[in-house]
Amino acid sequence: MLGLIAFTMFSCSEDDDSTNGEGTAHVTVSMTDAPGDFDGVLIDVQDVMIKTEMDGAEDEGWESIGSVETGVYDLLELTGGVSQLLADVELPAGYLGQMRLILGNDNSIVVDGESYAMATPSAQQSGLKLNVNQELEAGEQYSFLLDFNVDESVVSQGNGGYLLKPVIRLSAEEGASTIEGEVHPSNFRSLVKAQNASHTISAYTDADGNFTLHGVPAGIYKITVTPDVASNLPTIEKNNVTVEASTEVDLETIYLE
């Protein structure tokens, strides 16, 4: 699973807003994973950069968001509602145009217990540009989640090697919600997917059968639970699951037997 970004913004204080015409926003950036059929996918996070200018050349005006938790992260550990906090910073309120995740060279994949280095083209290391296009207001809260799609991000080459070309879904919609629950039995992994005409959001269950789908826009969804093929259990569907803005939808326990 690969995966997401989450940003949260708060004003420094009422006094700050009164003395500073714009004020500041408290911004957090997190990452999660959409499913992938590998033993491990490790990515080398070096920076998160933002672009606040509406005009200018495509590659100009980028700056580090600051205080980024750099390191090598296994995306397949970000399941069952787990996300990785990448940054927690104060930013001036104002226009946020784009964001990109900067990767290093230490990227690898584990397949059938064997680890392989993943080549990362320079264009990918410089960061996939993700459109935000939102005015950040002082004192308001915004949530953004970077959801890596592992299956689409990892490209198998004919010579047995692998390329990392990140495919990321940015969840940055005001009022986005979560869908959570538990799948029973939990002694194997299940894929949980929420889908409608506009959106497809998915995650694997964790070791206890728990799952969380982040950044779900309001709407009506079909929930599909697909257990590991080795379980010999059927796929379960739940239709007409209504998700309202800024809510947590608890599907409780979904039984596959």
pLDDT tens figures, 182-234: 999 999 989 899 999 988 888 888 889 999 888 888 899 999 999 998 899 99
**pLDDT score for 175:** 66
Extended strands (E) in 157-204: 162-164, 168-171, 177-184, 190-195, 200-204
Least confident of 46-50, 171-175, 200-204: 171-175
Is residue 11 predicted with pLDDT exceeding 60? no
98-109 in b/e form (b: 16+ CB < 10 A) is: bbbbbbeeebbb
Which one-letter amino acid corresponds to residue 129?
Answer: K
- Give residue 224's pLDDT: 96
Q: pTM (2 decimals)?
A: 0.69
CA distance 206 to 180: 12
pLDDT at 13: 37
* Best CA proximity match to 205, nearest among 220, 187, 222: 187
Dihedral angle of Cα 116, 150, 193, 198, to the nearest 10 degrees: -160
The pLDDT of residue 116 is above 90: yes
From the options 1.10.443, 2.60.40, 3.30.460, 1.10.10, give the CATH code of 14-171.
2.60.40
CATH superfamily of 177-255: Carboxypeptidase-like, regulatory domain (2.60.40.1120)
CATH 2.60.40.1120 segments of the chain:
177-255
Q: What is the pLDDT of residue 2?
A: 38
At residue 125, the pLDDT reads: 65
Q: Two tokens at 118?
A: 């993943």
Q: Can you spell out the DSSP letters for 193-234? A: EEE-SS-EEEEE--TTSEEEEEEE-SEEEEEEEEE-GGG-PP
Confidence at residue 27, expressed as pLDDT on a 0 to 100 scale: 79
User: Strand, helix or coil at 122?
Assistant: helix
Q: For 49, list phi and psi in degrees, rounded to 5.
A: -120, 150
Rounded mean pLDDT of the chain?
A: 82
Q: How confident is the model at residue 122 (pLDDT cuts 50, 70, 90)?
A: confident
